[in-house]
Amino acid sequence: AAPVRFTAFGDYGAGGDAEYAVARVAAAQDPAFTAVPGDNSYLVAAPVLFDHNIFRPMRPLLAEGPFVATLGEHDLAYGGGGAVASALGLPNGGDRYVFTHGGVRIIALGLEMDAGDVPFVRAALARPGARHTYLLVHRPPAPANPVLAVARGHVVAVIAGHNHRYERRVIGGIPEFTL
C-alpha cells in the first residue's frame, strides 16, 4: 500500500551536460527505479561508449534504483542491442518483460508494440499484485494499435520515447506520455 515513486525519461545517452543535469534532478526525487523508453546510448550502443554515455552521467540516479528500459533504434544498431541490454541488466534482452516494484508494474515491449504483443500483454495484465500498470515502449503507438484495445481500462498510461519532445495525449483511450 506504500506509494512508489519512479522517474521516466527517454532518448538520453549522449554523455553531455544535459544528461548529468537530468540524473541529478531525477535522483533528488528518490525514485525506486527509472523507466526508460529506449535510445540509451547515442549514436550507437557500443560498449566502449557506455561509461561516457550512460554510467558516468547517470551514476547518482542508478544509485537510487535500476533502469527499467526498452531498446530504441540507437541501441539496436550495434549488435542488436545485446550489449546495452546486458549492461543495464534487462531481462529477455530488453524485449517483452515485466518489472514489478511494490504495487507498480511496468510491461516493457521493446522498440514498438504490435499485434504480436497482445498475448504477452494479456498474460502480464492477468498477473495478480499490481495496483498500477504502465506500458513502456520506444515508439509511440498509433491510435488503432491492437495492444491499446487490450490494455484500455487496465493500465495507467503508455510511456514512450523516440520523438525527442515531451507530449501528453490520450491515444486509444489511454493516456500516453512521450518523453
Q: How are beta strands 97-101 and 67-69 bridged, if at all?
A: unpaired
The mean pLDDT of the chain is: 96
pTM (2 d.p.): 0.97
Overall average pLDDT of the 55-80 stretch = 96
Cβ atoms of residues 32 and 69 within 8 Å: no
Q: Starting at the earlier edge strand, list the strands of the sheet with 167-171.
A: 97-101, 104-108, 132-136, 157-160, 174-178, 167-171
Overall average pLDDT of the 2-25 stretch = 95
pLDDT at 2: 84
Instruction: Assess whether pLDDT exceeds 90 at residue 1.
Output: no
pLDDT at 115: 98
Cβ atoms of residues 168 and 175 within 8 Å: yes
